[in-house]
Amino acid sequence: MLSTFHDPLALPLPPESADSRRRHVGGLALEDAAVARFNALLAQLDPNAPRVSADQLVTLARWLQEQPHERAVAILAKRLGRVEHLRRMLNDDDWDVDGELRERARLLISYLREARDLIPDELPLVGHLDDALLVELAWPAFRDQSLDYGDFCAFRQEEQPRGTGAERRLAWENTRLAELALLQQRRDVRARPYAAGQPLPPLFRVS
């Protein structure tokens, strides 16, 4: 059993079990070659991501099946929703994604489109577990760009800047940098009597 987490929709990779021979998920026997292909793709998406064993997938699948159905569906949907956000980012002419990140995002999206991947999508509930786990483990490679894009979308909707896509993005960057400079100035003024004017770390990031 997995322990309790503060995030009610957490999808943690469980530790290896003492019974490393387990291979069956929802009646499907996980093949070593299929698990190896999953890990190879995961390494392409994020070289720092942990590798996954069949035993860990079995443990996670059993844990997911033990959750209340609505919660289990929400756990999966949370990860799959991130990919919809990536897809919008790739298709947004106002947003510039570098070639390497774009290719990795396409690889991730392509995997989720496959119906017969590591765990076939037709299996009830657990059919999308491998998709969700791939997103969860690879997400650190996409997180910063995704957060920036989400902030840009909010700015674009609220401020409705004019001009080309590049000009709208520049307006967003300049606005956020100005806000950051003002916040830093205010923090420096408040901190000066206590920290001899040492600057405090910024709270926002614009890339």
pLDDT at 91: 96
Taking only the tens place, the pLDDT of each residue in 132-180 is 999 999 999 999 999 999 999 999 999 999 999 999 999 999 999 999 9
Which of 142, 170, 185 terminates a domain? The answer is 142
Model-level pTM? 0.83
Grade residue 73 by pLDDT with cuts at 50, 70 and 90.
very high
- Give me the percent of the chain exceeding a pLDDT of 90: 69
What b/e readout covers 170-187, taking b as 16+ CB neighbours within 10 angstroms?
A: ebbeeebeeeeeeebeeb
Q: Is residue 55 part of a domain?
A: yes
Residues 55 and 116 in one domain: yes
Q: Do 121 and 188 have their domain in common?
A: no
List of residues 6+ apart from 116 with CB closer than 8 A: none
| 99 lies in the same domain as 57 | yes
**Does 69 reside within a domain?**
yes
Residue 4 clears pLDDT 50, i.e. is over it: no
Q: Are residues 126 and 179 in the same domain?
A: no
Residue 8 pLDDT level (bands cut at 50, 70, 90): confident
Query: Which tens digits make up the pLDDT trace of 96-134?
Result: 999 999 999 999 999 999 988 899 999 999 999 999 999
Domain boundary (114, 142, 170) is at 142
- Domain ranges, residue 181: 161-195
Residues 84 and 135 in one domain: yes
28 backbone dihedrals φ, ψ, rounded to 5°: -100, 135
Query: Same domain, yes or no, for 138 and 169?
Result: no
What total number of domains does the chain contain?
2
Whether 67 maps to a domain, the answer reads yes
CA distance 12 to 154: 30
Assess whether pLDDT exceeds 50 at residue 200: yes
The reported pLDDT for the residue numbered 81 is 95
- Shared domain for 125 and 47, answered yes or no, is yes
The pLDDT value given to residue 95: 96
For residue 104, being part of any structural domain is answered with yes
If asked whether residues 132 and 165 sit together in one domain, one would say: no
**Within a domain: residue 205?**
no
Asked if the structure places residue 8 within a domain, the reply is no
pLDDT above 90: residue 192? no
Q: What percent of the chain has pLDDT over 70?
A: 88
